[in-house]
Amino acid sequence: MRQWVFLSLILGVSVPASRADVVGLLRYDPAQANQPLRMEIYEGSYVPDDDFVSPLIAYDPKLYALGGKNPVRFAFVADWDGAAGNMDELVIVRERTAKKGRLDLTVRVRTKGLDQDTGETLASSKGTDLGFFSGDGRIAAMGPLDIEGDGVDEVVILRAWSDGRQSLEVRRLPPGKKKKMGPPLVSDAQFGTVGLDETVSVFGTQQDGDAAEEVVTLRRSAAGADQLHLYDLPASVGGDAGAPIKVDPSVVAPDGAVNQSIARFFRPGTGEGVIFLRQAPSGTQRVEMFDLAFSGSLGAPVLSDATLDEEGLGMPLFTVFGMAAASGHGSAR
Ligand SMILES: [Ca+2]
Ligand SMILES: [Ca+2]
Ligand SMILES: [Ca+2]
């Protein structure tokens, strides 16, 4: 492992073949007024047997709420501190409806055991620094992205503007509690068009071996199929990400299942992949994991799991993500 880190630093590449993510799920209870969110973490079996999300190793039965006055709008994982041998932290973004839709971001230690509260708050945004969930320039999608390849994740933010533009910016996560995130490190004021070209999910990925991660978006157009796009980051503030470098032009499930969200996911020996949360026409949700190959089509899933309610909770999934476990991440992702 140590040699891998050293070699990665020299070569500027950064995918330890050993990284194997655990699976994080957020599900919510629609029967309760504020729809409390439940966080679950599963070991991934990595066996393509239609049941790869197993066994359950940790859960927090009541992590914030999807409804009510301060609903969770975005949830993802990021390595906030980049400490070697460390794990991904949990990033939760809630809307303060009584504060004109202000978005508050919190970084927390992941849930560590069965029926245990999510751990300590490590960092949080300050005031209106992040932005708003509604209005001109509202935040439409957010995800983790490491801009300089140092193993500490930044955040990629897509905003929607009333003139139809979407914009992209990369900012640092807040360094502590109630701290500002600082100005954008890079940005692009014209990154797609709302409605015809809506972005459902966004995250960073390392595809070309240079230090900066690239941007993956799941984009939806009013007329056509969902697409998976890969972009280079803009080079500067006020820059231009340009056209996508690679496109999977149709990421549609054969049974017509809706793509609800995507996130990055590592499985052993293959580097970075993508995990989809999909909902079949019958209403059943499933997770499907693919290699992030951009070969023009996703192909068949490498791993999948459609039995995600084994405990019979009747709680739908809000989102799903891969999480770096206790090792194999650090400064050499
Ligand atoms: Ca960490
Ligand atoms: Ca970084
Ligand atoms: Ca790169």
CATH of the domain at 325: 2.115.10
Instruction: Report the pLDDT value the prediction gives residue 253, as an integer from 0 to 100.
Output: 93
Backbone dihedral angles phi then psi of residue 5, each to the nearest 5 degrees: -60, -50
Greater pLDDT, 201 or 4: 201
Q: What's the gap in Å between 329 CA and the centre of ligand 1? A: 9
Question: First and final CA of the chain: distance in angstroms?
Answer: 12
Q: What's the gap in Å between 235 CA and the centre of ligand 2? A: 15
pTM (predicted TM-score)? 0.90
Lowest mean pLDDT among 189-193, 244-248, 309-313, 318-322: 309-313
CA R_g for the chain: 19
Instruction: Report the pLDDT value the prediction gives residue 14, as an integer from 0 to 100.
Output: 46
Instruction: Report the pLDDT value the prediction gives residue 326, as an integer from 0 to 100.
Output: 61
Q: What's the gap in Å between 54 CA and the centre of ligand 2? A: 31
The dihedral sign for the CA sequence 300, 51, 315, 141: negative
Domain that holds residue 107: 2-332
Ligand at minimal distance from the CA of 90 is 1
Q: Which two tokens stand for residue 109?
A: 């230690």
Q: Could you read off the pLDDT of 152-188 as tens digits, one per residue?
A: 999 999 999 999 899 999 999 999 999 999 999 999 9
Q: Could you read off the pLDDT of 66-75 as tens digits, one per residue?
A: 999 999 999 9
Q: Which two tokens stand for residue 108?
A: 């927390």
Ligand at minimal distance from the CA of 155 is 2
Q: What's the gap in Å between 110 CA and the centre of ligand 3? A: 27
Pseudo-torsion of CA 234, 238, 242, 248, nearest 10°? Answer: 60
Backbone dihedral angles phi then psi of residue 121, each to the nearest 5 degrees: -80, 120
Q: If you write DSSP's letter for every residue of 6-66 in order, what string do you get?
A: HHHHHHT----TT---EEEEEEE-TTSTT-BEEEEEEEE---SSSB-EEEEEEEES--SBS
Indicate if the pLDDT at residue 15 is higher than 70. Answer: no
Q: What's the gap in Å between 146 CA and the centre of ligand 2? A: 4
Instruction: Report the pLDDT value the prediction gives residue 223, as an integer from 0 to 100.
Output: 83
Instruction: Report the pLDDT value the prediction gives residue 221, as an integer from 0 to 100.
Output: 86
Q: Which two tokens stand for residue 75?
A: 């949830």
Q: If you write DSSP's letter for every residue of 160-185 in order, what string do you get?
A: E-TTSBEEEEEEEPPSSTT----S-S
Stretch 313-324: mean pLDDT, rounded? 93
pLDDT, mean over the chain: 88
Helix (H) or strand (E) segment spanning residue 3: helix 2-11
Q: What's the gap in Å between 79 CA and the centre of ligand 2? A: 9
Pick from 119, 157, 78, 155: which is nearest to 333 by CA? Answer: 78
Q: Which two tokens stand for residue 262?
A: 């995507």
Stretch 328-332: mean pLDDT, rounded? 37
Using a CB cutoff of 5 Å, list residues around ligand 2, an ion: 146, 148, 150, 152
For residue 332, the SS3 value is: helix
Q: Please, are residues 263 and 274 in contact by the beta-carbon 8 Å criterion? A: yes
Ligand at minimal distance from the CA of 172 is 2
Q: What's the gap in Å between 205 CA and the centre of ligand 2? A: 12
Q: What's the gap in Å between 147 CA and the centre of ligand 3? A: 9
Could you tell me how many helices (H) and strands (E) the chain has, helices first?
Answer: 1, 20
Using a CB cutoff of 5 Å, list residues around ligand 1, an ion: 79, 81, 86
Backbone dihedral angles phi then psi of residue 73, each to the nearest 5 degrees: -105, -35
What residues pair up with 321 in beta bridges, in sequence order?
A: 24
Q: What's the gap in Å between 87 CA and the centre of ligand 1? A: 4
Ligand at minimal distance from the CA of 207 is 3
Q: What's the gap in Å between 259 CA and the centre of ligand 2? A: 28
Residue for token pair 């729809």 = 35
Q: Could you read off the pLDDT of 235-284 as tens digits, one per residue?
A: 999 999 999 999 999 999 999 999 999 999 988 777 789 999 999 999 99
Split into its structural domains, the chain has a count of 1
Q: What's the gap in Å between 270 CA and the centre of ligand 1? A: 22
Q: If you write DSSP's letter for every residue of 61-104 in order, what string do you get?
A: S--SBSSSSS-EEEEEEE-SS--TT--PEEEEEEEEGGGTTEEE
Q: What's the gap in Å between 91 CA and the centre of ligand 3? A: 23
Q: What's the gap in Å between 210 CA and the centre of ligand 3? A: 4
Q: Give the confidence band of 330 by pLDDT, cuts at 50, 70, 90.
A: very low
Distance of alpha carbon 199 from the chain centroid: 13
Instruction: Report the pLDDT value the prediction gives residue 12, as an integer from 0 to 100.
Output: 41
Backbone dihedral angles phi then psi of residue 278, each to the nearest 5 degrees: -125, 150
